[in-house]
Amino acid sequence: MLTEGMSAASSDVEFDLRSRVRAAVADAEGVVEECDPARDWPDVETWLHARLAYEGEQTFALLADRTAEVAAALGREFGGEPLPPPAPAEPPDVLGHLPPRDAPRGARRPLAARSRSLVMSGYGGLMMALILPRFAGVQLPAWLILTGALTTALLLGGATLTAERRRLLETSRTRSKARVRNDADGFLLVATKHAKDTLRHAQQHLRTECTKRTTDP
């Protein structure tokens, strides 16, 4: 009964911990999608660590409950009081090994490449406004053609700048999500080890108590 009870407790605890971490990661990625990580990452990281710490506390509480249930079942098996559960283990600092890091940012292209894209966009706008009326056989005043050419160049240049900012934002979000998953994996590694060590210690303790019950007159 002891081995079966502790195996079931271990399975429940591991499933609970993984489910909680997965939900925390999904929520964190949703937060990343709604913000600019280059600006808001410290707040996101603080929230993520607090959420993971809370989920760890809930899983460790479940571990204690499952251990107490096994102790009570063993006590009933022996026809007496529940076996005394082991002293609760001191929870580890499951996030202390994660180093503080700067906000993830998108990698800017070299200045020459950005300038070339901007110039080419503006040049393309000028050419469109100057050449299209001729192809269409439309005679327009020179001032109107020039105004249209400048307006088109500005619009295309602005679109290029907007696309560059969007690219940087998406890159920053992608890197932030990878960092969220990395922090969650680090937390899960430490929390899982603590849970397994605690369950192993509890099983040894309960086995000792069972031996005492069977040998005491």
Going by pLDDT thresholds of 50, 70 and 90, the confidence category of residue 6 is confident
Ramachandran sector of residue 98 (left: φ over 0; alpha: ψ -120 to 50; beta: rest): beta
Closest-CA residue to 204 (of 70, 73, 78, 90): 70
Return the pLDDT at 142.
Answer: 53
Going by pLDDT thresholds of 50, 70 and 90, the confidence category of residue 130 is low
| 58-81 per-position pLDDT tens digit | 999 999 898 888 888 877 777 767
Return the pLDDT at 88.
Answer: 67
Return the pLDDT at 97.
Answer: 62
Reply yes or no on whether the pLDDT at 118 is more than 60. Answer: no
**Alpha-carbon distance 12 to 191, whole Å?**
14
**Residue 52 burial (CB < 10 Å; 0-12/13-18/19+)?**
buried
**Alpha-carbon distance 131 to 149, whole Å?**
10
Going by pLDDT thresholds of 50, 70 and 90, the confidence category of residue 203 is confident
Going by pLDDT thresholds of 50, 70 and 90, the confidence category of residue 151 is low
| Global confidence as pTM | 0.69
Reply yes or no on whether the pLDDT at 139 is more than 70. Answer: no
**Alpha-carbon distance 214 to 21, whole Å?**
41
The pLDDT mean for the chain works out to 75
Eight-state DSSP code of residue 81: S
Return the pLDDT at 25.
Answer: 94
Helix ranges restricted to H, the chain: 2-33, 37-77, 111-136, 142-215
| 26-62 per-position pLDDT tens digit | 999 999 988 888 888 888 888 998 999 899 999 999 9
| 77-104 per-position pLDDT tens digit | 777 676 777 776 676 676 666 666 665 5
Average pLDDT (139-150) is 53
Average pLDDT (148-152) is 56
